[in-house]
């Protein structure tokens, strides 16, 4: 792909030579993604990307956007901010039309300022952190609900079943702290505080100290704000140490990856979700996604992370369609802002000029202990 500067030079040279300039419509629309494709959080990036690519492959087979295909250019950051920053600079140098489907709060936190400075839209990050939403940033578009929405639902559920002794195990980074803030805020509305708080480092499964700290407080439930490998390690270690209470996770954990890690130890583990269930045919978007997965002939797994990628791609494509793939960043952002209360068959998308959070959809799911998930 030629970038904007190269295209301008080529167009000028063609005009001087008496030949018509090459039209940008013949180019691909390139979208940049930095995410974890290796390391302990790899399944989050792999599945999110797979779902998005599934949608764009379908779109391209039908002619793309105005005859232009959409391509995701992905780079692996292993869920490490320094690598994500390097990747983002590379993608911006390649003149991508948007940055899309980044995975994680600490990674998105280093990428968003770069996107803003370059005036490139930052669309559908796989994070619900409030710090990426407030203050308002015109270049940031969030498809999923916030961690505050998820933790409020979790705490309300705990109170509905009469539980008050709640502990929090959180990842010691921006993501974990964002989730912890959400839990504390939700508990405070019930005049409660966590009975214990403990941390685990990002991309680590060293959970022994956290288990010791939290088990000593005898909580009735533990809310976990981390990725699937550390959460699974914590659950197994806590059970081994005699803990008999419940475990609650937010969607970023990676539901199917957590179920796969835990096996039979996953029975009863609750995970909040920000997209409808990919395993139920109750909503049109779920049926559409299931049909697309079937037609992929095994290339794409059906799970919450891949479905979120599919929905995110569908939202981005709607913005590209409305802008005609023209007008650059301003054209795409204005088009996205025009998506007001649009139903995607059970998942509503509602942007405006003043609000770039499309959805507050949240619901709870539960692992069954045989690798499955039910709502």
For residue 229, the model assigns a pLDDT of: 97
Q: Rounded to whole angstroms, how far apart are CA atoms 297 and 308?
A: 20
pLDDT, average across residues 153-176 = 98
Residues 167 and 265 in one domain: yes
Residues 230 and 336 in one domain: no
Residues 221 and 292 in one domain: no
Residues 37 and 109 in one domain: yes
Q: Tell me whether residue 368 is in a domain.
A: no
Residues 6+ apart with CB under 8 A from 92: 32, 99, 114, 115, 118, 120
For residue 371, the model assigns a pLDDT of: 87
Q: Tell me whether residue 371 is in a domain.
A: no
Residue 173's φ and ψ, nearest 5 degrees, are -160, -170
pLDDT bucket at 26, cuts 50 / 70 / 90: very low
pLDDT, average across residues 330-348 = 97
Residue 303 has what DSSP assignment? S
Residues 31 and 154 in one domain: no
The answer to whether the CB of 268 falls within 8 A of the CB of 248 is no
User: Residue 91 is part of a domain; what is its CATH number?
Assistant: 3.40.50.2300
User: To the nearest whole number, what is the mean pLDDT of the chain?
Assistant: 93
Please tell me the pTM assigned to this model. Answer: 0.91
Number of domains in the chain: 2
Q: Tell me whether residue 22 is in a domain.
A: yes
Residues 6+ apart with CB under 8 A from 282: 276, 346
pLDDT bucket at 10, cuts 50 / 70 / 90: very low
Q: Tell me whether residue 178 is in a domain.
A: yes
Domain span at 44: 4-145+283-359
CA 352 to chain centroid, in Å, comes to 20
Judge whether residue 13 has pLDDT over 80: no
Do the strands 246-249 and 270-273 form a parallel or antiparallel pair, or are they unpaired?
parallel
Residue 304's φ and ψ, nearest 5 degrees, are -65, -40
Residues 216 and 246 in one domain: yes
Judge whether residue 82 has pLDDT over 80: yes
For residue 22, the model assigns a pLDDT of: 31
Q: Rounded to whole angstroms, how far apart are CA atoms 172 and 226?
A: 9
Q: Tell me whether residue 77 is in a domain.
A: yes
Q: Is the dihedral of CA 41, 44, 47, 53 positive or negative?
A: negative
pLDDT, average across residues 94-110 = 97
């Amino acid at each position: 792909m030629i970038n904007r500067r190269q295209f301008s030079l080529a167009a000028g040279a063609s005009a001087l030579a008496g030949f018509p300039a090459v039209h940008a419509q013949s180019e691909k629309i390139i979208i940049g993604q930095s995410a974890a494709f290796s390391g302990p959080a790899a399944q989050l990036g792999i599945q999110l990307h797979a779902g998005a690519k599934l949608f764009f492959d379908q779109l391209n087979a039908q002619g793309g956007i105005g005859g232009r295909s959409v391509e995701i250019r992905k780079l692996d950051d292993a869920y490490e901010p320094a690598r994500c920053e390097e990747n983002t600079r590379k993608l911006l140098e390649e003149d991508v039309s948007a940055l899309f489907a980044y995975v994680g709060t600490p990674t998105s936190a280093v990428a968003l300022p770069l996107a803003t400075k370059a005036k490139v839209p930052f669309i559908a990050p796989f994070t619900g952190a409030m710090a990426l939403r407030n203050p308002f940033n015109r270049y940031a578009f969030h498809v999923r609900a916030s961690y505050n929405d998820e933790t409020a639902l979790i705490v309300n559920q705990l109170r509905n079943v009469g539980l008050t002794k709640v502990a929090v195990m959180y990842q010691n980074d921006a993501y974990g702290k964002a989730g912890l803030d959400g839990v504390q805020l939700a508990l405070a509305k019930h005049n409660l505080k966590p009975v214990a708080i403990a941390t685990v480092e990002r991309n680590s499964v060293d959970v022994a100290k956290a288990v010791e700290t939290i088990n000593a407080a005898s909580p009735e439930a533990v809310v976990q704000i981390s990725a699937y490998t550390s959460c699974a390690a914590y659950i197994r270690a806590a059970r081994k140490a005699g803990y008999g209470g419940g475990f609650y996770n937010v969607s970023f954990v990676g539901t199917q990856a957590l179920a796969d890690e835990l096996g039979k130890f996953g029975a009863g583990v609750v995970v909040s979700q920000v997209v409808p269930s990919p395993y139920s045919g109750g909503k049109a978007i779920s049926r559409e996604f299931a049909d697309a997965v079937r037609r992929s002939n095994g290339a794409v797994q059906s799970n919450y992370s891949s479905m979120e990628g599919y929905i995110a791609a569908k939202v981005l494509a709607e913005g590209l369609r409305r802008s005609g793939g023209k007008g650059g960043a301003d054209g795409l952002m204005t088009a996205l802002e025009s998506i007001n209360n649009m139903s995607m068959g059970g998942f509503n998308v509602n942007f405006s000029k003043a609000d770039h959070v499309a959805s507050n959809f949240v619901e709870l799911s539960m692992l069954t202990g045989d690798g499955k998930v039910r709502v």
